[in-house]
Amino acid sequence: MSVAESILAGPLTEQREALDRGELSASELLEACLARIADRASLGAVFSLRESAAREEAAAADRRLAEGKPTSSLDGIPVLLKDNIVQAGEPAGCASRILEGYVSPFDAAVTERLRAAGAIVVGRTNMDEFAMGSSTESGVSGPCHNPWDATRACGGSSGGSAAAVAAGLVPLALGSDTGGSIRQPASFCGVVGLKPTYGRVSRWGLVAFASSLDQIGPFTRSVADAAIALETIAGHDPRDSTSLPEPVPRFRDALDGEVRGLTIGLPREYFDADGVDPGVLSRVREAIAVLEEAGARFVDVSLPHTRYTIATYYLVATAEASSNLARFDGVRYGRRAEDANDIADLYERSRSEGFGAEVKRRILLGTYVLSAGYYDAYYGKAQRVRTLIRRDFEAAFQDCDLILTPTSPETAFALGAKSDDPLAMYLSDVYTVSANLAGLPGLSLPCGLADGLPVGLQLLGRPLDEATILRVGDAFERRTRHHLVRPGEGG
């Protein structure tokens, strides 16, 4: 392995040091990154690259470095973005046929912020169509394979970004999390994934799935890297009416390795549940022991409405999706059906040909639950239960500073295993959806392997308190080596 290759395989904090010390240039780092992406093309993680623009940007970063004036901690660092986060002049397809040929005329807010920080946006990653799914198998270009075992799913819907970070293609990739789509693939791929508080990161330029749940966040190889990424992408944006005005702390200042004085809640409904893989439970219990030994106090808490979370999520998310996806009509964006008889026929054909099965299923369900005769029975009721779920967390946070759970009840399942069973796929997010319904920040980090596959530990915080979950995650990393274990090259 060359110097650039071995530095590329590490966390971005090490890449930063190497760049600052002049051990390698941003251009060398980018070349190693492009070579690695080509080398691991069979994973199916990356959709497209903007090689020549990225090369020019790396050269500009090198000029800043030569003057000793890097813009930020991300200056010269290569990153990949999920295919639902737009980049000016680049395709944005959401892994859907319906957006074939669409090129974004503008940058998403997070893309702007990354560029302003000097990061090199290298390309777009694979995902489930319109971010609907838990396996990254439903996109137009086929599945993304798990770098730990190519016969397994990498999780979803942001699976391409998770796999890219796990396989050493880039140290940072962004995804979006509506019900678990950052945390669950992070868990399956053995990397760190962070879903910020709702409103912390602007959704301007994120193709909307369920607007009251969607949030953009980073995938990284360490918690410290996630703290740096969040500092960069977070902050108020008047173009997103749900963006919060609160100032963004320097999250890395919270990473002092200490957990003494913190109380961590263990929700009994998450640990008593049937169907949790015993290997997952063992790794999570070992993680609890590590944090206890470090001085954290653990208490049992209850989230009594946990059993309604999946049902509530699939009513709220599909309702919002049916409305958001109405804009894809074959006229304004992307692909248009040919030979239509009239405008109604054009809409019908474009949408029938353009959307895949899961997206259609959700549009139908969402339209149904919003229809006049059923609104109160389904959507109205789901909104009321959503309030009860949020109150469960408010009550639990009276007794603890953060909550710890497994991220997913299982490790990476086989590709195709759940493709014909939507309900089984939906249950994959049983531990993650509640944070979206309640708007809370959630972090998934590696806590070991079960049968050779990564297990994720989830930390949930109070609204706007990303600092505490990052601090505890980092304290855990300082006492363990799980985040350093990388997949072999066989996958």
Known catalytic residues? 82, 157, 181
- How far apart are CB 250 and ligand GLN at their closest, in Å? 28
State the DSSP H helix or E strand holding residue 265, giving kind and residue range, or none if neither. strand 263-267
One of 90, 225, 392, 429 touching ligand GLN (CB under 6 A): 429
3-class secondary-structure state, position 194 = strand
3-class secondary-structure state, position 388 = helix
Q: Lay out the site mask for ligand GLN across 152-191 (x = CB under 6 A, - = otherwise).
A: -----x------------------xxxxxx----------
CB-wise, 75 or 320, nearer to ligand GLN? 320
CB-wise, 74 or 389, nearer to ligand GLN? 389
Please identify the residue of the shown chain whose CB is closest to the bound ligand GLN: 181
CB-wise, 133 or 409, nearer to ligand GLN? 133
- How far apart are CB 295 and ligand GLN at their closest, in Å? 34
List the strands of the sheet with 442-450, edge to edge: 46-49, 120-125, 78-82, 172-176, 216-220, 192-195, 442-450, 453-461, 402-406, 263-267, 297-301
- How far apart are CB 321 and ligand GLN at their closest, in Å? 8
One of 58, 131, 415, 455 touching ligand GLN (CB under 6 A): 131
Return the closest-CA partner of residue 164 out of 66, 267, 259, 38. Answer: 38
CB-wise, 30 or 210, nearer to ligand GLN? 210
Is residue 217 at the binding interface for ligand GLN, with CB under 6 A as the rule? no
Contact 121, 79 (CB under 8 A): yes
Distance CA 341, CA 322 (A): 25
Helix, strand, coil abundance in the chain, percent, nearest 5: 45, 15, 40
Distance CA 400, CA 281 (A): 21
Residue 307 C-alpha from the chain's centroid? 24
Q: Taking CB under 6 A as the criterion, which residues in 8-27 touch ligand GLN?
A: none
Is residue 193 at the binding interface for ligand GLN, with CB under 6 A as the rule? no
Is residue 134 at the binding interface for ligand GLN, with CB under 6 A as the rule? yes
CB-wise, 177 or 466, nearer to ligand GLN? 177
Contact 366, 375 (CB under 8 A): no
What are the tokens at 198? 């709702």
Residue 82 C-alpha from the chain's centroid? 9
Q: Taking CB under 6 A as the criterion, which residues in 309-328 touch ligand GLN?
A: 317
Distance CA 386, CA 309 (A): 8
Q: Which amino acid is at 311?
A: A
Q: Which stretch binds ligand GLN (CB under 6 A): 73-81, 129-137, 288-296, 378-386?
A: 129-137
Q: Which stretch binds ligand GLN (CB under 6 A): 108-116, 132-140, 267-275, 411-419?
A: 132-140
Q: Which stretch binds ligand GLN (CB under 6 A): 32-40, 125-133, 243-251, 463-471?
A: 125-133
- How far apart are CB 23 and ligand GLN at their closest, in Å? 38
Contact 209, 130 (CB under 8 A): yes
Residues that bind ligand GLN (CB under 6 A): 131-134, 157, 176-181, 209, 317, 429
